[in-house]
Amino acid sequence: MIKKITIDQLVPGMFVHQILEQKGALTVKSQGKVTSTDVVNTLKKRGVKTLAIDTDKSFKVSESSSSISSNSVENEPAEKILAPIKSVSLEKELNRATKLHQQGKDIQKLLLENVQKETPFDTSIPKAFSNKLVESVDRNPDALLCLTKIREKDDYLLEHSLNVAILLANFGKYLGMSEEEMQDLSYAGFLHDLGKIKIPDEILHKPGRLTESEMEVMKGHVKHGVDYLETMDIAAPLVQAISEHHERLDGLGYPAGKQGDAISKAGRMLAIADMYDALTADRVYKPGMSSQKAFAILMSDAPFRLDKALVQQFIMCLGVYPVGSLVLLSNERLAMVLEQKDSPLTPLVKVFYSVRNSHYLTPRDIDLSVDKTVSIVKAVIASDYKIDVNGFFERSVSVG
């Protein structure tokens, strides 16, 4: 929970979400942990008067570190006074991220039920959840990205908005956005498709091409969602971004036919993440396409329909072989990408399947930037080999 306090109320163990009022020339804009009384005293000297803390991110400090030490932070640059959330290994974050991912599906289900019944929901719940997604991305962005590839075909509506929220948190981090901007983006992504619960199932899940009249019904999901969210305690810029996720720069999108600069940056980013996840998602009636094919479609829609610069940055954010995607190696084995390394063509992968012998292998990690005897041939999708990636993930990647 975000709580406003004065500088005199600040103590070690608190997490500063935002500086609200400050006097003086040396502005502190960063957020992070208050690790000692040195930090409190330095913020006072920098003229900080009031600030917002996040009570959900409070932490314990040792008695020695909470007292004034010889290592004063008084002369530190403004952005280094507050200690950021520490990054952790993929293995360590994955267990927490797996629980968070399931929690997201549960919350999404409850939200959809509220929208269907046209009853309000407690906005603090999805907002706090979106903040937790950003925290996980801060600790290790690869954990949640892995989970976006683990899908249940019958849960598309639940997983799609969750995955878009995860993609936007990563995208915002890649662009250097502030923690608050990342949280807002993730929150918008989490809520963006709630209106689809109002679309009849025979249209929403139709395997073939929609007729013109069916498409008009489908387009109505944006208005259904926006009309509902406008009755809730949700910031107007977030609702605007949600209203724009099907708008296109050439004015041929919907529902308002906005053009060019009339579409907000958040709306443009949401459109890209929404389209990418929809293209790569497995449905009951068709498998998702590879990330590379999805990237090609995104690029073909730029610059006339999608923002070209943002599409290019989105692709660079995810990498040539996105975390969680499958690749065929030169030794005729399949592997899941676990972590991006310095070179986009040589990630850390987990080998788990022999194509030659059509059977699962004991999972083994290979850092392709170190092991030069093996290389990636191409990106693939699980349905090409009739394998169960979810089962593999549960057996070998999950650390529960």
The pLDDT value given to residue 83: 66
**Of 392 and 378, more confident:** 378
Q: What is the mean pLDDT of the chain?
A: 88
Q: In 379-389, which positions are buried (b, 16+ CB within 10 angstroms) versus exposed (e)?
A: bbbbeeeebeb
Contacts of 370 (CB under 8 A, 6+ apart): none
Q: Which pLDDT band, with edges at 50, 70 and 90, does 99 fall under?
A: very high
Whole-Å CA distances, 101 to 131, 132, 144, 147:
13, 10, 7, 7
User: Which residues make up the CATH 1.10.3210.10 domain(s) of the chain?
Assistant: 90-318
Asked if pLDDT for residue 395 goes beyond 80, the answer is no
Query: Is the pLDDT score of 271 beyond 60?
Result: yes
Confidence of residue 30 (pLDDT cuts 50, 70, 90): low
Q: How sure is the predictor about 217, in pLDDT bands with cuts at 50, 70 and 90? A: very high
SS3 at position 364: strand
Contact 13, 42 (CB under 8 A): no
Tokens matching residue 23? 């006097």
| Contacts for 262 with CB less than 8 Å, ≥ 6 apart | none
Name the superfamily (CATH) of residues 90-318: Hypothetical protein af1432 (1.10.3210.10)
Q: Are 147 and 97 in contact (CB under 8 A)?
A: yes
Contact 152, 159 (CB under 8 A): yes
Q: What confidence tens digit (pLDDT) does each residue in 354-368 have? A: 999 999 999 999 999
The whole-angstrom separation of Cα 369 and Cα 348 is 8
